[in-house]
Amino acid sequence: MKYIISLFILALFFACKTDNTEKNNEPEIAEAVKDSLIYPEETHFKSIKQITFGGDNAEAYWSFDDKQIIFQSNNTNWNVNCDQMFLMNADETFADKMPPMISTGKGRTTCAYFLPDNKHFVYGSTHLGGEDCPEAPLRREGKYVWPIYESYDIFVADLEGNIVNQLTTEPGYDAEATVSPKGDKIVFTSMRSGDLELYTMNIDGSDVFQVTHELGYDGGAFFSPDGTKLIFRSSRPKTEAEIKEYQDLLAEGLVQPTEMELYICNADGSDLRQLTNLGNANWSPFFHPSGDKILFSSNFEAERGFPFNLYMIDLDGKNLKRVTHGETFDAFPVFSNDGKKLIFSSNRNNGGGRDTNLFIAEWQD
């Protein structure tokens, strides 16, 4: 759910064809900032390239062949008022031009993910609930909240933006869909049980299975490289006061994501266990290509809510290591399928503003 970017930024201060001239300028833009974008402590980055330049850009995911990237953006220069889905080749940058938008341009969208044929993708959209962007919530009594729009459903579209299938029709929130590297299953978050739980389904929407059953917001799930495990974020209220606050907010279509930990389980929900116990917000996890480690974003070392940096941890919860060393916001790490590159969102190199851009780093262990 990329809506987190705009709100976290507030907390911090808490296809179009182009001519040859445009294409020839792109490598110069990338090269000019390549070396200066890596902080000295970021030893896992061999090189880095910035690929967007303005707005909030996040949740970027690779096609199965690693040739294309799909991501969401609210860049007002691209004629959108809230998050929509865009497509780019993996070797492109977008500074002064607009990439092709492949969502409908109606409602708000979230969490697009390629299907194995590299010609279609799944994503969440509110467009059946109205063509306008749904209203963003205000803080409640100083509390930072996310919206859980009940009009979200999950759709399949081709790379021209044509919707070819609707995978969910249950009342209430259905979103945050990602696809197994094996190409056979989708995991997503749904309110259909009355709570925000994880479910899996086949890529055609059949054989829906409930994975989690405990009270709390379970979301942002990803499969392990072999498709056997799931990693996800969760806010699990424990005390009577916490439970009441969670349920009261949920009744208003809201969640408060300031206290989240990572959980891991088998794809069928068995062997569920808490992976982190760090405090603050631990979220946007993704499996290392080895399947033995998790990258994630956290502000557990922060005193005032920021910065958010990327960390790496073993599946047994040991060997926690900081990966990025920014001063504001690094999140949404996603490895390419060949394991050689990492795409992530960051506030670095934004001139001190609030823009969140996409970066691709060559990864080295």
Asked whether the bond before 100 is cis by omega within 30 degrees of 0, the reply is no
pLDDT at 140: 66
* Residues 6 or more apart whose Cβ sits within 8 Å of residue 129: 107, 149, 150, 151
pLDDT at 352: 85
Measured from the Cβ of residue 12, the count of other Cβ atoms closer than 10 Å reads 19
325 burial (CB, 10 Å; 0-12 / 13-18 / 19+) is: middle
Is residue 181 assigned to a domain? yes
For residue 199 the two structure tokens come to 């479910």
Burial 114-145 (b: 16+ CB within 10 A, else e): bbbeeebbbbbbbbebeeebbeebeeeeeebb
pLDDT at 144: 84
Distance CA 80, CA 223 (A): 31
Report how far apart, in Å, the C-alpha atoms of 143 and of each of 8, 133, 188, 198, 257 are: 12, 22, 26, 25, 10
Distance CA 166, CA 311 (A): 36
* CATH code, domain carrying 326: 2.120.10.30
Distance CA 364, CA 361 (A): 9
Is residue 364 assigned to a domain? no
Residue with tokens 């507030």: 10
Is residue 275 assigned to a domain? yes
- Give the chain's largest Cα–Cα span: 63
pLDDT at 139: 66
pLDDT at 215: 97
Is residue 189 assigned to a domain? yes
Distance CA 65, CA 67 (A): 5
Is residue 188 assigned to a domain? yes
* Residues 6 or more apart whose Cβ sits within 8 Å of residue 314: 292, 293, 294
Distance CA 224, CA 289 (A): 8
Distance CA 121, CA 132 (A): 22
pLDDT at 24: 36
Positions in the chain short of pLDDT 50: 2-34
Is residue 292 assigned to a domain? yes
pLDDT at 33: 43
Domain span holding position 276? 3-358
Distance CA 303, CA 63 (A): 38
How many structural domains compose the chain? Answer: 1
Report how far apart, in Å, the C-alpha atoms of 131 and of each of 18, 125, 128, 145, 189 are: 29, 10, 7, 23, 23
Return the DSSP state at 22.
H
* Residues 6 or more apart whose Cβ sits within 8 Å of residue 303: none
* Positive or negative: CA dihedral 225, 174, 143, 84: positive
Is residue 363 assigned to a domain? no
Distance CA 218, CA 197 (A): 5
Measured from the Cβ of residue 259, the count of other Cβ atoms closer than 10 Å reads 14
Distance CA 42, CA 36 (A): 12
Return the DSSP state at 318.
-
For residue 305 the two structure tokens come to 């809510």
For the chain, what is the total number of helices (H) and then of strands (E)? 3, 25
